[in-house]
Structure formats: C-alpha cells, structure tokens
Amino acid sequence: MTSSRRGASAAVSERAVLVAQAGYYVTTGLLPFVSRRAFEAVTGRKREWWLVQTVGALVTVVGSALLAGVRTDRVTPELRGIAAGSAASLAAIDIVYVAQRRIAPTYLADAAAQLALLGGLAAAGRRR
C-alpha cells in the first residue's frame, strides 16, 4: 500500500470517528431540550436543570463544530484536540462521579461511548 493510500484510509477512518462523535454529541446535547422526562428517565432526576441545559448546549456546539470541520475538510490539530479532550473529559467526569455515587450508574454507558470515541481517534491518529 502506498503512503498516499494509507493517508486516505486514515482520513476516512478519522472522518468516520468524528462524524460518529458529532452525531452522538448533537443527539445527546439536544435531548434535554427535547424532553426533560426522557432525559431524566435515563439519567435520573436532576435538581439543577439549568446546568443540564448548559452542558447540553456546550456538547451540542462541540458536536456541531466537529461536523463542520469534517464537512469542510478542515480537520486541524486544534479540532482533533477538542474532539479528544471532550471525550476524555466527559468520560472522566462520568467515571469519577459514578464512583462517588453522585450520578446514576447509567452514566457508565456514556463513559464507555466516550472511551470508544477516544480509542477511535487515537487509532486514526496512529495511522495518519
């Protein structure tokens, strides 16, 4: 396989991971605005609804930026850093606060998704 062919393969893989991350973030970020009942059915009752909506809005913005970068073929090192940093941060928060029994264990499913995205980004970076 030629080096340019390897580069194209890595770009497709990276694009696929970023599109998956963008879709996941936009979907999960918008859910609190679509249905509080559905959101709390999965994650448990929330006292600080404004905070849920703030995080949802920020996650939606990150997902939208990732998608914009992919669509315009402008996946920069900074965008990769936002993608990886967001996934790592959200996974860490999920794990720490589930361990402290501050949030429901269902958040471990989100942590697993975040770690899968992070692994996909790392694999794509090694091939790039």
Q: Which pLDDT tens digit goes with each residue over 84-115? A: 999 999 999 999 999 999 999 999 999 999 99
**Nearest Cα to 25, choosing from 79, 76, 64, 70?**
64
- Kindly give, in sequence order, each residue whose CB lies less than 8 Å from that of residue 73, ignoring residues fewer than 6 positions away: none
d(CA 80, CA 87): 11
Question: Which pLDDT value is given to residue 112?
Answer: 98
Q: What is the pLDDT of residues 26-70, one digit of tens each?
A: 999 999 999 999 999 999 999 999 999 999 999 999 999 999 999
d(CA 20, CA 14): 10
Q: How confident is the model at residue 4 (pLDDT cuts 50, 70, 90)?
A: very low
| pTM for this predicted structure | 0.88
